[in-house]
Chains A and B, each alone.
Chain A
Amino acid sequence: MSPPDVVRSEAEPLVETVEIKTHFKTPRGIARAVDGVSIQIRRGQSLGVVGESGSGKTVLSRSIMGLLPRNGVIRDGSVRYQGQEIGNRSSKEMRAIWGREMAMIFQDPMTSLNPVMKVGKQITESLRLHLGMSASEAMTIAERLFRDVRIPEPTRRLNQYPHELSGGMRQRVMIAIAMACGPNMLFADEPTTALDVTVQAQILELISEQKRDRNMSLLLVTHNLGVVAGYTDEIAVMYGGKVVEKAPTKTLFADTKMPYTEALLRSIPRLDQPSHSRLATIPGRPPDIVHPPKGCRFAPRCAYVRDLCLNEEPELQQAATPDHTYRCFYPVGSPEYLERKVELTRKGELVSTGDLN
């Protein structure tokens, strides 16, 4: 390969979505779960997708991987993998991509493993199917994979059923299965939410180690900003089916633009706060995605809302730093924001949690 080619392929995203929409037909009307999202993930890069329940973060990752039912789903926009359109492929065509090119780890390892099949069989299945290995060859590889994800006594574990393993061990098995065919892209959908905090740290460490060793790309879906802070290069904050702010991880925390992101950050209880400190909250509830508000979707809950926000939807704005975009008319730090902040502080409506920046 000539050098210019290498440069081009490094810069080219591995996975790219352009204005994808995933809408579900429900008895109440059309639910706009994902409503025009454009993201890019380059090789070896990790993107965190953060949002509350119902923000569309899970549907987004499933839309990219083509894991949604055909019936009752309306889709639009484009999903590209290595420059090729895969958004319109059937499940049958996607099978060439699943496992080998893209793999996924889910939140609940118990329900995503087959309860009546030994875990060894579940991992060798994909090796034999996708890579055409013999049974004994696949078993050897499986054992090595179990060792990679630090499952003690791999030979014995391969012969066990999922219920014989602890939650953390099951999630390690899921990671081993996802790694089996050496995917280029890993989707992890709340991979540690069901786990204890010490095990969570081990699993996140393991995922990022695998990512590094295999030069894999990672899309990490979570509601916990603490989790994405340490393990991603870039973060997209989702709200009501849209990406409302996207930036390199450090920039997002240091130079938050969207009041929603700021509110999310403030509501996390922090260990360095004294006990009984008042936690900042976000009033109200996430928007109804069947009948989303007319203007900015966060406007009804936003402390800095003005008339314009309620009537007009903000376009994606470019922040001063490259790669940092947001959807807000009066971002954090703007004169209107500061003016309102002074008012709110005077009225005692702003919970002070120290200066976050």
Chain B
Amino acid sequence: MAGTGKAHLRNSDDVLLRVEDLVVEFPVGRTGLKVNAVSGISFDVLKGETLGIVGESGCGKSTTGRAIMQLPSPTSGSVIFDGTDLTALSGEPMREARTKIQMIFQDPISSLNPRRNVRDIVLEPLSIWNRGTKDEQLATVDKILEHVGIDPQRAAESKPHQFSGGQCQRISIARSLVLNPQMIICDEPVSALDVSVQAQVVNLLEDLKKEFGLTLIFIAHDLAVVKNISDRIAVMYLGKICEVSSSEDLYRNPAHPYTDVLLSSIPVPDPTVAVKKVSVEGEPPSPVSPPAGCRFNTRCPNASDRCRSEEPTLREIEPSHFVACHHPLTGGDAPVTVRNN
């Protein structure tokens, strides 16, 4: 799996973000070992597009999101946002660039300062950057709070703990919007929420995307949510991208065996559909010593000797559908085994 390779990058004037050969490594104490969190991935996002990044814990999806923000800077690779390579920036230009990309996180309650009132929390970015007079700032904040469905009056009087999880996520979204960013990176924004509230937040993000002309990166492990909100999806496994495709295509014709496993693991809310036998055993290997060849080969039902020695690169199997696999389930070479559903 695993793909290095850039066949899927697009040459278009509309590319807002282009990430190439991104590598992020963390040292393991003083052992000299390192965690290979992200191992040379490339992707791009067009203006107004929503890119979904899916994968299990430890696949490097959150690290990727943070590396775009340079939090921390990647070990190597380039992150070109709106024509500027962010990895080359530091100091004031870096801070300035970060106002154009904002991030929202999984746990909305712990990402808000518990001791300040909500209106001040949302106002803070504006006062840091001295955007307009105090009155103008307050007007902006109140307008955006209304947009996300939070009563500004109540926001002025209340602290985060007086709001529910879903409301706190709305407040986080409001705070990310006040500086008028071009892109928002959403890192598991709905996984801590009840399913009914999840739907509200997803709908809200869709509305705001239209109103504010936003570009989104939506990172999550739940393929059903990602599929709903994304135009294009990148599937990650152990620091590599294994498949990139439009969300419809990915669901209809998953080509990578891992994508297929992810799709068939989702419990179906319908008792007449028989529960599918899980076709994969165990858990991902440690990113400290990832397997040679395709990184999925230790769990893949179709792995061959070639997979254990040679790393597959991303290649196009259908228009705009890329997969890094020696034996994809559709297109390209004939599949080794037939899909098991």
Contact = CB atoms under 8 A, between A and B. Distances in A.
B164 A285 contact: yes
Contact of B268 (A226, A278, A282): A226
Interface stretch (B113-121, B132-140, B192-200, B325-333): B192-200
A128 B229 CA distance: 52
Interface string A236-278: 0000000000000110011000000001110111110111111
B57 A196 contact: yes
B200 A281 contact: yes
A253 B269 contact: yes
B270 A166 contact: no
B251 A271 contact: yes
Interface string B250-291: 010000000001111111111111111110111100000000
B202 interface: yes
Contacts of A302: none
Interface stretch (B81-89, B220-228, B314-322): B220-228
B221 A275 contact: no
A205 B278 contact: yes
B204 to A, nearest CB: 10
Contact of B269 (A201, A226, A250, A274): A226
A229 B269 contact: yes
Contacts of B56: 196-199
A225 interface: yes
A154 interface: no
Nearest to B166: A285
A9 B274 CA distance: 30
Contacts of B262: 197-198
A169 B202 contact: no
Contact of B271 (A199, A230, A271, A285): A230
A223 B227 contact: no
A263 to B, nearest CB: 7
Contacts of B196: 52, 263-264, 267, 281-282
B248 interface: yes
A278 B199 CA distance: 9
A187 B197 CA distance: 26
Given A223-B195, A271-B251, A200 B265 contact: yes
A16 B190 CA distance: 36
Given A196-B221, A205-B278, A269-B224, A229 B198 contact: no
Interface string B27-44: 000000000000000000
A197 B266 contact: yes
B247 interface: yes
Contact of B199 (A150, A274, A280): A280
A273 B281 CA distance: 29
B64 interface: no
A325 to B, nearest CB: 18
Nearest to B233: A275
A223 B198 CA distance: 12
B231 interface: yes
Contact of A198 (B198, B225, B265): B265
B269 A265 contact: yes
B283 A224 contact: no
B57 A268 contact: no
Contacts of B195: 52, 223-225, 264, 267-268
B228 A273 contact: yes
Interface in A177-224: 196-202, 204-205, 223-224
Given A168-B283, A231-B275, A281-B196, A275 B247 contact: yes
Contacts of B221: 196-197
Given A249-B271, A275-B248, 14 more contacts: A52-B194, A197-B262, A198-B265, A199-B56, A200-B265, A201-B264, A201-B278, A204-B275, A227-B267, A230-B267, A230-B271, A250-B271, A264-B195, A267-B198
Interface of A: 52-53, 150, 152, 166-169, 196-202, 204-205, 223-227, 229-231, 249-250, 253-254, 263-265, 267-271, 273-282, 285
27 contacts: A166-B283, A197-B266, A198-B280, A199-B283, A201-B265, A201-B278, A202-B278, A225-B269, A226-B267, A226-B268, A227-B267, A230-B271, A253-B269, A264-B195, A265-B269, A267-B196, A267-B198, A269-B199, A269-B224, A269-B225, A271-B223, A271-B227, A275-B227, A276-B229, A281-B197, A281-B199, A281-B203
Interface of B: 56-57, 164-165, 194-200, 202-203, 206, 221-225, 227-231, 247-248, 251, 261-278, 280-283
